[in-house]
Chain A
Amino acid sequence: MSQSPIKPDRQSPPGMPRWVKVFVILFIVLILVVIALHLTGTNIGGHIPHMP
């Protein structure tokens, strides 16, 4: 008995892979951490002091 190969559904594109979702979540968390640090005044680095 021969079976025809299953053809992908061309109507709907595949969803976003899990690793991309993880990247997006990490990026959003990173942005939120930076915003939180700025709002709490815990600035990584800071402004350049004026040259004497």
Chain B
Amino acid sequence: MVMNPNLRKFVRTAHITVAVGWLGAVASFLVLAVTGLTSPDTQLVRAAYLATDLLTRYIILPLSLVPLLLTGPVLSLGTPWGLFRHYWIVVKLLINILSTLILLVHLQPISYLAQVAAERTLSSADRDVQVQLVAAAAAGLLALLVETALAVFKPRGLTPYGWRKKNEELDLSSSSDIST
């Protein structure tokens, strides 16, 4: 099913807005996580980890799920691009799934540090978890930058499924040309 141009523009606008918002939110998370790991100011560190929890729950998590479950599939399946026809879309989808899984795995450490920050000053026992958040945020940011580059450059390459569908469409159009 191919969407009409106005609906397609609307979904594309929503998709780009959400994806860019996700990128910005993860960059903000990284700044807070680095601040929490490196700042000597204990009050600032506690504030940073309380902020990371809010940022994750109300911005990053929803923004990660919308393009994965809603705008991405709708935009792919509602346009001739398809979801599994081009390698760049498949790779983007896999990065998206992996990033969201990594985010879900890190919800617990994020809420743990926020809980600690709400009650007391962080100790050296929390250091590993603090490093973990910086590493995860940096990896997430890199993955989202790669995704953005893939969406802009759209590198060539049809999957075997995309190649088959293209041939089917070519056969269909040539047979309809002959019949007219």
* Chain A residues packing against B (C-beta within 8 Å): 10, 13-14, 16-17, 19-20, 23, 43-49, 51
Q: How large is the interface on B (under 10, 10 to 19, 20 to 34, 35 or more residues)?
A: 20 to 34
Residue of A nearest to B131 (CB): A45
Does residue B38 face the partner (Cβ distance < 8 Å to A)? no
Provide 12 A-B residue pairs closer than 8 Å at the C-beta atoms, listed in order of the A residue. A14-B157, A17-B87, A17-B156, A20-B91, A43-B128, A45-B129, A45-B136, A48-B108, A48-B109, A48-B112, A49-B125, A49-B129
- Given A13-B160, A46-B129, 19 other A-B contacts at CB below 8 A? A13-B164, A14-B157, A16-B157, A17-B87, A20-B91, A20-B157, A44-B131, A44-B132, A44-B135, A45-B109, A45-B128, A45-B133, A45-B135, A46-B132, A48-B112, A49-B125, A49-B126, A49-B129, A51-B116
Residues from chain B with Cβ under 8 Å of A46 in the complex: 128-129, 132
Instruction: Given A45-B109, A49-B125, verify A23-B131 contact (CB < 8 Å).
Output: no
Encoded as 1 (CB less than 8 Å from any A CB) or 0, chain B from 101 to 139 comes to 000000011001001100000000110110111011000
Of the candidates A14, A19, A47, which one forms a contact with B128 in the assembled complex, judged by CB atoms under 8 Å apart? A47
Residue of B nearest to A15 (CB): B157
CA distance A51 to B113 in the complex (A): 10
CA distance A23 to B87 in the complex (A): 11
Which 5 pairs show the lowest CB-CB distances between chains A and B? A45-B132, A46-B128, A17-B157, A13-B160, A13-B163
Residue of A nearest to B135 (CB): A44
Q: Is the interface of A mostly helix, strand, loop or mixed?
A: loop
Name the distance in Å between B101's Cβ and chain A's nearest Cβ: 14
Residues from chain B with Cβ under 8 Å of A45 in the complex: 109, 128-129, 131-133, 135-136
Residues from chain A with Cβ under 8 Å of B164 in the complex: 13
Does residue B155 face the partner (Cβ distance < 8 Å to A)? yes
CA distance A26 to B115 in the complex (A): 36
